[in-house]
């Protein structure tokens, strides 16, 4: 049979594009976070709190989607000297464009902007990134970039071992005075602007000493060998590129969807609290932990480059309880052994992850499902978030412990868990980008903050006590050794004997994926 012309063209394109390579010599001008920011507006705003709590960091959780976006916009507007932004994903949708416009306006008034983006999800954005990078006060670097800008499959075909490793970190720092760290990327699904798809996520806003740690982490990645100046990878912007950006932003502001979202953000109490310097911070000790950026270039799985041992040490050995929230939960044999040993020794271990019908990555669910029975047999409690469930946040003047971690204010038809948070003994809690899976442990780089906070850790435990059993299926063993899913609703309990909301075809696909040797990639 003669191959189709489309196949021939594809193979020819793959062959040609596979010849592309990264620049051999790249000039990287080293830069670090600005330290002389004590007279900025943000420094003056946080000074009363930091002065009254020497050595402590102020932590404010951002579980509500619109609050998380409002915080970033306000920090961008208030920044006087610098913005350091590090993200795995930055979409060119409504919220992505609004944030780009905000940092452009900051740059126009003299703010130095450093934007470090992982290159895995920048497809189609090269003209926008080049136009932003052309601004004299904006510098963009692409982490572990694709040599083939138009046909990325070429890199996967010829340089898979490298491009399979990504920078999954997320941080946002203004004037080296205020940072936001957590699970949210930049895109409508993370900030409640998409009614079709929505992620339930969690960030924390921090002030005090921990901000300097976030800045050191950013500098380490910014100056690393894997961070390529955008100008070394992208075609130069033309003379009309800035005008096209402004035209695009004007179009965004005119769209009814953006207008509704902007108004919703304006109505968030957090926006008023930020404007009036009335944000309620918890003052405690906090520390940043992160992978070494050299991890993406390493092929030996060196533990000294990895964050997981630091995370385990920082959280400490549980004495009573371990609560884990991970949208992509693939414990593997080692993790399963650790959790089952804890449970058999009397430690209360609870896990919240996505159900088959809620997950956005089927292979990950296949990687998780093969360990369910072993976990359940040892006494681990498993909850799987129901599809489309976005528990409305409680009254903003009330205790937020009744909402899910990362609750959005509006439900979407395909809501999915995206928060990554772990708590030990209702005393210490981690919030960051790390998933409990092999990819986070061995392939991607990650970061997060460990917080000594009975209030925040206790809130997660209360959610697992009260809200989550109603918003998630509880997986349970049957007397015959099979599994069942308990669906608790106001009308009572329903017991499912197969994965709820899934058809035979999807279950068969998951069963097939379980036998493939792909767990190391998940």
- Residues annotated as part of the active site: 168, 170, 175, 418, 420, 425
Residue 356, classed as helix, strand or coil, is coil
Question: Under a CB-based contact definition with an 8 Å cutoff, are residues 371 and 166 in contact?
Answer: no
475/329 Cα distance (integer angstroms): 15
Question: Under a CB-based contact definition with an 8 Å cutoff, are residues 344 and 378 in contact?
Answer: yes
Q: How far is CA 50 from CA 3, 58, 348, 379, in A?
A: 68, 8, 36, 43
430/210 Cα distance (integer angstroms): 14
Q: Which residue has the tokens 């063993």?
A: 477
Alpha helices for 412-498 (secondary structure H): 438, 454-465, 468-471
**Structure-token pair, residue 95:** 């919220």
84/265 Cα distance (integer angstroms): 23
Question: Under a CB-based contact definition with an 8 Å cutoff, are residues 453 and 429 in contact?
Answer: yes
Helix (H) or strand (E) holding 150: none
**Structure-token pair, residue 355:** 């159900």
Alpha helices for 235-307 (secondary structure H): 241-254, 256-266, 269-275
Q: Give the chain's length.
A: 522
68/62 Cα distance (integer angstroms): 6
């Amino acid at each position: 049979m003669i191959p189709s012309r489309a196949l021939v063209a594809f193979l020819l394109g793959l062959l040609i594009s596979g010849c592309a390579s990264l620049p051999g010599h790249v000039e990287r001008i080293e830069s670090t976070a600005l330290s002389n920011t004590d007279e900025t507006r943000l420094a003056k705003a946080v000074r009363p709190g930091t002065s009254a709590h020497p050595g402590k960091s102020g932590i404010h959780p951002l579980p509500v989607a619109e609050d998380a976006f409002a915080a970033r916009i306000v920090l961008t507007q208030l920044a006087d000297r610098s913005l350091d932004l590090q993200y795995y994903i930055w979409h060119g949708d409504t919220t992505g464009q609004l944030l780009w416009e905000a940092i452009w306006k900051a740059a126009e008034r003299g703010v130095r902007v450093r934007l470090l983006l992982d290159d895995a999800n920048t497809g189609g954005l090269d003209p926008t990134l080049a136009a932003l990078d052309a601004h004299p006060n904006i510098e963009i670097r692409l982490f572990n970039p694709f040599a083939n800008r138009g046909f990325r499959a070429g890199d996967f075909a010829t340089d898979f071992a490298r491009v399979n490793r990504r920078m999954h970190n997320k941080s946002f720092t203004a004037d080296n005075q205020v940072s936001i760290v957590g699970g949210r990327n930049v895109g409508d699904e993370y900030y409640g602007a998409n009614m079709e798809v929505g992620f339930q996520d969690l960030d924390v806003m921090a002030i005090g000493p921990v901000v300097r740690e976030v800045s050191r982490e950013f500098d380490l990645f910014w100056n690393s060998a894997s961070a390529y100046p955008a100008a070394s990878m992208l075609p130069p912007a033309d003379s009309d590129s800035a005008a096209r950006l402004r035209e695009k932003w004007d179009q965004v502001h005119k769209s009814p969807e953006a207008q509704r979202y902007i108004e919703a953000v304006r109505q968030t109490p957090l926006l008023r609290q930020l404007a009036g310097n009335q944000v309620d911070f918890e003052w405690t000790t906090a520390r940043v932990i992160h992978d070494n950026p050299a991890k993406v270039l390493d092929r030996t799985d060196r533990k000294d480059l990895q964050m997981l041992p630091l995370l385990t040490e920082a959280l400490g050995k549980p004495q009573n309880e371990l609560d884990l929230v991970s949208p992509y939960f693939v414990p593997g044999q080692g993790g399963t052994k650790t959790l089952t040993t804890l449970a058999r020794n009397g430690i209360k271990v609870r896990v919240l992850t996505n159900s088959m019908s809620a997950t956005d990555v089927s292979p990950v669910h296949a990687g998780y499902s093969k360990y369910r029975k072993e976990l359940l047999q040892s006494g681990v409690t498993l909850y799987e978030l129901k599809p489309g469930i976005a528990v409305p946040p409680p009254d903003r003047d009330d205790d937020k412990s009744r909402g899910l971690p990362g609750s959005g204010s509006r439900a979407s038809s395909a809501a999915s868990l995206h928060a990554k948070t772990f708590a030990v003994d209702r005393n210490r809690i981690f919030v960051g980008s790390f998933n409990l899976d092999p990819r986070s442990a061995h392939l991607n780089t990650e970061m997060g903050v460990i917080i000594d906070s009975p209030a925040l850790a206790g809130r997660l435990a209360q959610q697992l006590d009260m809200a989550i059993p109603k918003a998630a299926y509880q997986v349970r063993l049957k007397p015959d050794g099979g599994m069942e899913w308990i669906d608790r609703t106001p009308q009572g309990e329903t017991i499912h004997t197969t994965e709820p909301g899934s058809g035979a075809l999807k279950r068969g696909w998951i069963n097939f994926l379980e036998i493939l040797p792909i767990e190391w990639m998940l």
